[in-house]
Amino acid sequence: MQDLDSLVAVGDSFTEGMDDPTPNGTYAGWADRLAAMISAHRRDFRYANLAIRGKMLQEIVDEQIPLAVALKPKLVTFCGGGNDIMVPGSDPDAVAEVYEIAVADLRAAGAEVLIFTGFDTKHTPLLRSLRGKIAIYNSHLWSVADRYHCRVVDLWSMTVLHDRRAWSEDRLHLSPEGHRRVALRAAEVLGLTPEDKWNAAWPPLAGEAWMTQRRQDLKWAREHVVPWIGRQLRGGSMGDGLAPKRPELTPVHADHR
């Protein structure tokens, strides 16, 4: 995309950048890292990030999509629906219908759209039961991408993210290295040629005893999964009261190049 002079990122915690902390107390994440890569090639490039942790898809559509349209960027990155899919009893077909309406609005406004599929949860305890729903949702996203001529970052096929080092302690959000890998993949999809490879092999990792892994799984479920489900069922969110970290299109500094 030779004429890529502006990018607006919309979404939830994945796009906000949890858990990729910066020295100033905010999060960087794949979107900030991608923006820095693009800026290195185009100095007039501007970037906004409207994503807020915990947002459900309808909230993203109602609160962020109109702002993105108003900013009139060349490209919008759009990842959403994961929080909806994780709610017990949710319908991926219905979630995809909401997603498509938002893509149609963005395309009608003249923006290119970069779509992100859901992750493969095969290697995540408890969450692996969601694989079927995520696969159905992903199929819809590929169809939406085809209908509206969108590029796709296929997170499902990124087997490099199956390594636990790609994830933070809560296993719900990427680690800094996980975010870096996604940024590299997104840059590749956009036609850039990063020096580093997103699918480079991880260094060898010493194995752990089966019992130790199971204890860690139980601790993780107790401290992270159960509280998350409780918040969703109560209608609460980690992002309640938070504002976007980067609400306007502004030049990108070299922090994450």
Condensed to tens digits (0 to 9), the pLDDT of residues 165-180 reads 999 888 789 999 999 9
- Structural domain includes residue 174: yes
Condensed to tens digits (0 to 9), the pLDDT of residues 67-87 reads 999 999 999 999 999 999 989
Q: Tell me the CA end-to-end span of the chain in Å, nearest whole number.
A: 19
Condensed to tens digits (0 to 9), the pLDDT of residues 196-205 reads 999 999 998 7
Nearest to 138 by CA among 176, 93, 180: 93
- Structural domain includes residue 257: no
Range of the domain at 243: 6-199+209-251
The answer to whether the predicted template modeling score (pTM) of the entire model surpasses 0.85 is: yes
- Residue 142 has, within 13 A of its CA and on its CB side, a CA count of 11
Q: Look at residue 24 and tell me whether its pLDDT is greater than 90.
A: no
Condensed to tens digits (0 to 9), the pLDDT of residues 42-59 reads 989 999 999 999 999 999
Tell me how far the alpha carbon of residue 82 is from its chain's centroid.
9
CATH at 23: 3.40.50.1110
- Structural domain includes residue 132: yes
Q: Is pLDDT larger for residue 126 or for residue 3?
A: 3
Q: What is the pLDDT of residue 227?
A: 64
Structural domain total, the chain: 1
Cβ pair 256, 176 in contact under 8 A: no
- Structural domain includes residue 204: no
